[in-house]
Chain A
Amino acid sequence: GNSVTQMEGPVTLSEEAFLTINCTYTATGYPSLFWYVQYPGEGLQLLLKATKADDKGSNKGFEATYRKETTSFHLEKGSVQVSDSAVYFCALTPNQAGTALIFGKGTTLSVSS
């Protein structure tokens, strides 16, 4: 079946530290991959996406590369800010009829100044 596994949090960093949140997936076919962010008290916002192998999604200093050989889509940012504190969800859609977005359990990031 299709599934997403994320590293468990919480992740606690100081401002300007390097961030990596690991995400691996299992899917049939060729899924599209996403990172969503949820700020406290809000819904989900699309952070970045990649639709095929070796694609790199990027937004607001965050990056993730679609690695088919390792079935991974790790999220990285070179220098985090306090405002990046949120819950981050890795997700995939298998691009098959009748299937919706499948999410990982989420990773909480807390950045202190």
Chain B
Amino acid sequence: EAGVTQSPTHLIKTRGQQVTLRCSPISGHTSVYWYQQALGLGLQFLLWYDEGEERNRGNFPPRFSGRQFPNYSSELNVNALELEDSALYLCASSLASYGYTFGSGTRLTVV
């Protein structure tokens, strides 16, 4: 069984640019969660999608957004990038909010 896959694995962007990160959940999992892991700040919850709808979001500004597609894959979009957005972005999937499986993450560097 394929795990949660994220792309790209690494990218570098300039301050003010926009970025899109992608996540494919485990087959059969309908929920996708996004987390930000910034240096020294631990894992911060960003967004939760289930059955194509946003179910909850963490304490992040509106320039962090996303969506979930009919095949349950998901995109995370970050507009107007700031230096402090540099972090590892982790995606997890689950079925019915239990048994989360994480991907390997996308490391974003904003310069």
Contacts and interface: CB of A to CB of B under 8 A. Distances in A.
Interface in A1-42: 32, 34, 36, 42
Interface string B85-97: 0000010100001
Interface residues of A, number: 20
17 contacts: A32-B98, A36-B102, A43-B90, A43-B103, A43-B104, A46-B99, A98-B55, A98-B56, A99-B56, A99-B97, A100-B48, A100-B97, A101-B33, A101-B45, A103-B42, A103-B43, A106-B42
Among B35, B41, B97, B101, max chain A CB count under 10 A is at B97
A99 B50 CA distance: 12
A18 to B, nearest CB: 25
A43 B105 contact: yes
Nearest to A89: B43
Nearest to B90: A43
A109 interface: no
Among A42, A44, A89, A100, max chain B CB count under 10 A is at A100
Contacts, number: 46
A102 B97 CA distance: 12
Nearest to B100: A101
Interface residues of B, number: 21
A89 B104 CA distance: 15
Nearest to A105: B42
Given A93-B97, A98-B55, A100-B33, A42 B104 contact: yes
Nearest to A95: B97
A45 B102 CA distance: 7
Nearest to A98: B56
Contacts of B104: 42-43
Contacts of B90: 43-44
